Chains A and B, each alone.
Chain A
Amino acid sequence: GIQVEQSPPDLILQEGANSTLRCNFSDSVNNLQWFHQNPWGQLINLFYIPSGTKQNGRLSATTVATERYSLLYISSSQTTDSGVYFCAVIGKAAGNKLTFGGGTRVLVKP
């Protein structure tokens, strides 16, 4: 099946810093989503972005489908941005299930 790798696995930031999270995938995709998992375990939708660029406040994402990667940008980070960020994809050849990467654990220090 499709492989999804996220980097870095852990990220420690000072409040106000910018950061970039990366998601690499091994095959063409029909769906790519970024999620933020809050401390209570719920997955919050950030972006549905199988291709192109989107922005939502301090967050933005870019997916370059032809090169099989996606980037999530966090600008002017806040302590509330702490948590785990997951990338998940539905591969074109792998059946219609959402496959998750291992996540990037982000800690924003005040």
Chain B
Amino acid sequence: DTGVSQDPRHKITKRGQNVTFRCDPISEHNRLYWYRQTLGQGPEFLTYFQNEAQLEKSRLLSDRFSAERPKGSFSTLEIQRTEQGDSAMYLCASSLGGWGEAFFGQGTRLTVV
């Protein structure tokens, strides 16, 4: 098991384009989280899944953001009509159960130009 994997590691996109990120959690973990982190700040919660069910979404997750975890394994985070303010590191984490130790992937760094 190689831990939580995120793809791509870096993404540069033009304003207005759509982007999609992928997260592969640790195989036996049923909980999956997405966070966003901007320079000098702590990670901010975006959403989380228990198996395939999306249980909570932050107010930060505007209508342009959507996340899925169709079979309770990998997850995707899509941002439509990207804006410069979307530039950030997007982090994915997984855990076993609601209170289990969470492990993070290496993140996807998005730059919107």
The distance from the CB of A78 to the nearest CB of chain B, in whole angstroms, is 23
For B99, give its contact among A35, A90, A100, A103 (CB under 8 Å). A90
Contacts A41-B89, A43-B104, A102-B42; A97 near B99 (Cβ below 8 A): no
Q: Is B28 an interface residue (CB 8 A)?
A: no
Given A41-B89, A90-B98, is A99 in contact with B45 using a C-beta cutoff of 8 Å? yes
- Interface size classification for chain B: 20 to 34
Given A45-B101, A96-B98, A97-B33, A40-B42 contact (CB < 8 Å): no
* A42-B48 Cα distance, complex, nearest whole Å: 19
A45 and B41 contact, Cβ closer than 8 Å, known pairs A96-B48, A97-B56: no
Interface residue range, chain A: 20 to 34
In the bound complex, residues from chain B placing their C-beta under 8 Å from that of A41 are 37, 89, 106-107, 109
Q: Once the chains are docked, how many angstroms separate the CA of A101 from the CA of B104?
A: 16
B interface SS class: strand
Q: Convert B80-104 into 0s and 1s, putting 1 for each residue whose CB lies closer than 8 angstroms to a CB of A.
A: 0000000001010100001111111
Nearest residue in B to A29 (C-beta to C-beta)?
B99
- Name B101's contact: one of A33, A99, A100, A102 (CB within 8 Å): A33
Chain B residues near A97: list those with CB within 8 A: 33, 45, 48, 56
B99 contacts A96, CB within 8 Å?
yes
A40 / chain B contacts, CB cutoff of 8 Å: 106
User: Do A100 and B42 touch (CB < 8 A)?
Assistant: yes
Q: Which B residues form the contact surface with A (CB < 8 A)?
A: 31, 33, 35, 37, 41-45, 48, 55-56, 89, 91, 93, 98-107, 109
Extra pairs beyond A41-B106, A43-B93, A50-B99 (9, CB < 8 Å):
A30-B98, A31-B101, A42-B105, A43-B104, A45-B104, A88-B43, A95-B56, A96-B99, A99-B45
4 nearest interchain CB pairs?
A: A96-B98, A100-B42, A48-B101, A43-B104
Binding site for B on A (CB under 8 A): 30-31, 33, 35, 40-43, 45, 48, 50, 86, 88, 90, 95-103
